[in-house]
Amino acid sequence: MSDPSVPVGSLTVARAYWLLKSEPDVFGYTDLEQRVSEPWNGVRNYQARNFLRAMQPGDLCLFYHSQAQPSGVAGVACVLTPAVPDNLQFDESSAYYDPKSTPDNPRWSMVEVAAVAALPRFLALDALRTLPELEGMRLLQKGTRLSVMPVTADEFRVIVTAGGLDAASL
DNA sequence: GCCAACGTTGGC
DNA sequence: GCCAACGTTGGC
């Protein structure tokens, strides 16, 4: 985190940190590494959507593998764009089509993301639970199903450091 | 606005 | 596949 601030237009705002869930059988971190830019679309939960809308270019994300053996944090991704309407909501052939969405009043949003660095040491859920600094982390609370959620700067630093990355270089 | 029924998520 | 937890839907 050599540069904890990010220019947004003429302003400079504090960089924010997030966690994105993905099922590696569908789209894992190694898939992200092969893309220049990946639309984070298909999110159909209002809370998660609101977090997408709060994202700014330059924000960093923990890339979390869910429904995996084991589940855990695989790498770091970067937000490339502000939120824009999710293209899939208008696509009748998509599983993410929403008939209640109109181009004038889109319900769902997405951002573009890119890979930054894989964790040299994959951090499985049970490993995350052993880190005392993460006791209050949203991801680890009972019943948390959100696929997009905020992470504190401290949580982010603790996780990438435990995963073998130099947090200051991100 | 209440709430039951149903659907989805995700760890295990 | 099971089940807990949570979100959404729709009747009233």
Residues with CB under 7 A from strand C: A 45-47, 142-145
The rounded Cα A149 to chain-centroid distance in angstroms is 7
Q: What confidence tier does A6 reach under pLDDT thresholds 50, 70, 90?
A: low
The residue count of chain A comes to 170
Q: Is residue A165 part of a domain?
A: no
pLDDT tens per residue, range A99-139: 888 888 899 999 999 999 999 999 999 999 999 999 999 99
For A28-51, what is the mean pLDDT? 96
Tell me the Cα Rg of chain A. 16
The CATH number of the domain holding residue A107 is 3.10.590.10
Which helix (H) or strand (E) is A92 found in, with range? none
pLDDT at A13: 76
Q: Is residue A164 part of a domain?
A: no
Range of the domain at A75: 5-159
Contact criterion met (CB below 8 Å) for A144 and A138 = yes
Contact criterion met (CB below 8 Å) for A55 and A48 = no
pLDDT at A55: 97
Residue A137 makes CB contacts below 8 A (sequence gap 6+) with: A128, A151, A152, A155
Q: Is residue A115 part of a domain?
A: yes
Q: Is residue A40 part of a domain?
A: yes
Q: Is the pLDDT of residue A3 over 70?
A: no
Q: What confidence tier does A4 reach under pLDDT thresholds 50, 70, 90?
A: low
Number of domains in chain A: 1
Q: What is the DSSP string of A97-117?
A: --TT-BTTB---EE-EEEEEE
Share of chain A above pLDDT 90, in %: 83
**Cα–Cα distance for residue pair A157/A168, rounded to 1 Å:** 9
* Shortest CA to C1' contact from A124: nucleotide: B11
Asked whether residue A68, judged by its CB, lies under 7 Å from any atom of the DNA or RNA strand B, the reply is yes
pLDDT tens per residue, range A54-105: 999 999 999 999 999 999 999 999 999 999 999 999 998 898 999 888 888 8
Asked whether residue A21, judged by its CB, lies under 7 Å from any atom of the DNA or RNA strand B, the reply is yes
* Shortest CA to C1' contact from A49: nucleotide: C7
Residue A115 makes CB contacts below 8 A (sequence gap 6+) with: A29, A32, A33, A35, A63, A75, A76, A77, A78
Q: Is residue A54 part of a domain?
A: yes
